[in-house]
A and B are shown apart, each in its own frame.
Chain A
């Protein structure tokens, strides 16, 4: 089963390689990864998606905890959370398809962020499944390039 794990880290050189080294060294797999600074300057948040049986996920969480630079590890699957990914897609946009591309992007609440004579670069965010849907629909029109970010996640706010 897929798990999204959120890891708060000290923002120091080499910390990312401690995490990725742990995964490769112990034979765990990383499907996606995303890291950036948090509100605190010296703390980064790393979100990774991995898969495995519960015992493997338990080991991953414990091993991450054991790294000296790791502050907190949260398995997002144990919480109600929101997850997002972003994709930048360069799609063919010639005279006869431009309108169609715009319509599709609009349906998925995406944005055109760069316009060229024969193509658009569009930005779409959402869950992985939504991004896949956009890609599937745009493919017949002609996708030239795709760049996708890793998943990022946050727990939902407490309800009143």
Chain B
């Protein structure tokens, strides 16, 4: 039986187990939307902006551990999706974005709503395709799913001209995918594993530095096993949070620009740094020559180009983190050289030193009785959700406070735009997360600036009846930039004062959602309790200490030991 391109497209999504897609229609996609109406297996979530569709698909994929799918039309639909694609690219999130395109015959003619989206997204996708022949559509989609989730994951874009979607084709049989040019290395080299284990055996001041790769490869258990067996303290990047239990005594929390004092001191003084699925980002390393200067460095990563990109690595292991950690754990399990007691003893002074640093400058803030401190709100959110909510964030101060004070114990519990740093990510991401986990509490922790970047998604929440909660830490500033201006630009608050802001309670109500407000510390807990009880979308407007800063802070370009403290 012959199918149209549009029918084949949906059938191919079904073949890959896709149940939910996020999108926005348009002229070039009208044939797909016509078919979608008749389809009862795939649920389409109509966002109110294409950027939101891509962020929602990104978070849906993160929380579910699957490939998220977004569908947007040609021209402006496609360009609106660009920010979402770039964010997924920098965070290595498996995602497929389908774009409509003008008919093949019109390509290159500057037709209405035509844009060369394949050209535009070439540097921000793992790979992208323009489907020129309807018979290629299904094989390309299959290849895209394979590429998106294997190796170092990433977003794939498929541009589908209108005539491809109307052409009748024979649906091709499923064949195993073999790509001549793409064979990621999953298994670690045994010689490198041996070297790494020997280094761990010798180390007196080891530190594990875990990144987003731990979450993406589901290797949190292997990581936890290694850290506990060898008694190695663990610090995580923003993307790695939840890869190791945040409340474990071995956890030092996040490192880097807004990392904990003791995590940064430990990295600066360690003799062995074990980087797992992390990429030595500038927000983590600070001044590069002062980063882990005394350490031998082991780097486990599936992407060879991540190795020795920013920091020279002594023992590279190119492999899937899960397999590499599995091999390392197996080595220690059968090793006769390893003795758990001796290892404890050998590391004891190191742990004492770290504890001393922690006690010297613990993560904290000055509590006040009449004004709400943002950190207090996050602590309360943590407490009242039992640390079990799915949290998304926008980008800015609230994002760093969340990373510091919501101690994530599980992977796939946290979605944030780490690499690109997209304000406007969190709210649509919460929609994606709630679609992925309907029974979980999902909270977007936002700022009053960033929530306004995609506030229109209130309509999506209402249409899908999603009980997403949004905690707005409202200081009337673009707080992170304001903090930089305070510290490094003579308090010239150029364009960071939000002089006009909406009444967030009323905005929520206008959409049929619920708005709550807290202006005093005593109101924080009741507001959160009430919000959690309401089976509707809720905006919680927390009016917080206006000029609270995020500390510790490593000024840009400084060594991570040169932290500004509270």
A interface residues (Cβ-Cβ under 8 A, vs B): 10, 13-14, 17-18, 21-22, 25, 55, 58-59, 62-63, 65-66, 68-71
Contact = CB atoms under 8 A, between A and B. Distances in A.
Contact of A17 (B119, B127, B303): B119
Contacts of A66: 303-305
Given A55-B308, A63-B305, A69 B181 contact: yes
Contacts of A17: 119, 122
A68 B123 contact: no
A122 to B, nearest CB: 39
Nearest to A9: B181
B123 A25 contact: yes
B398 interface: no
A68 B126 contact: yes
Interface string B103-126: 000000000000000110011001
Contacts of A10: 180-181
Interface string B167-187: 000000000000111100000
B147 interface: yes
Interface in B31-70: none
A66 B152 CA distance: 10
A62 B304 CA distance: 7
A14 B181 contact: no
A70 B179 CA distance: 11
A68 B122 contact: no
Residue in A10, A17, A25, A62 with the greatest tally of chain B CB atoms within 10 Å: A62
Interface string B121-141: 011001100100000000000
Residue in A17, A18, A68 with the greatest tally of chain B CB atoms within 10 Å: A68
Given A65-B304, A68-B182, A69-B181, A59 B309 contact: yes
Interface residues of B, number: 18
Nearest to A66: B305
Given A21-B123, A59-B309, A70-B181, 19 more contacts: A10-B181, A14-B118, A14-B119, A14-B130, A17-B119, A17-B122, A21-B122, A22-B123, A59-B305, A62-B304, A65-B304, A65-B305, A66-B303, A66-B304, A68-B126, A68-B179, A68-B181, A69-B181, A71-B180
Nearest to B118: A14
B482 to A, nearest CB: 31
Nearest to B304: A62
Contact of A14 (B122, B147, B304): B122
A58 B181 contact: no
A65 B307 CA distance: 13
Contacts of A25: 123
25 contacts: A10-B180, A13-B130, A14-B122, A14-B130, A17-B119, A18-B122, A21-B123, A22-B123, A25-B123, A55-B308, A59-B305, A59-B309, A62-B305, A62-B307, A63-B305, A65-B304, A65-B305, A66-B303, A66-B304, A68-B126, A68-B127, A68-B179, A68-B182, A69-B181, A70-B181
Nearest to B306: A62
B184 to A, nearest CB: 10
Residue in A59, A66, A70 with the greatest tally of chain B CB atoms within 10 Å: A66
B119 A71 contact: no
Contact of B308 (A22, A58, A68, A71): A58
A143 B180 CA distance: 47
A66 to B, nearest CB: 5
Residue in A14, A21, A55 with the greatest tally of chain B CB atoms within 10 Å: A14
A37 B308 CA distance: 33
A71 B304 CA distance: 16
Nearest to A10: B181
A74 B278 CA distance: 27
A21 B123 CA distance: 7
A68 B129 CA distance: 11
Interface in B258-310: 303-305, 307-309
Contacts of B303: 66
Nearest to B123: A25
A68 B147 contact: yes
A17 to B, nearest CB: 7
A39 to B, nearest CB: 15
A63 B182 CA distance: 13
**Can you list the 6 inter-chain pairs with the closest CB atoms, starting with the nearest?**
A62-B305, A68-B127, A25-B123, A71-B181, A62-B304, A63-B305
A25 B119 CA distance: 13
Contacts of A55: 308
Contacts of A70: 181
A25 B121 CA distance: 12
A18 B81 CA distance: 20
Contacts of B308: 55, 58
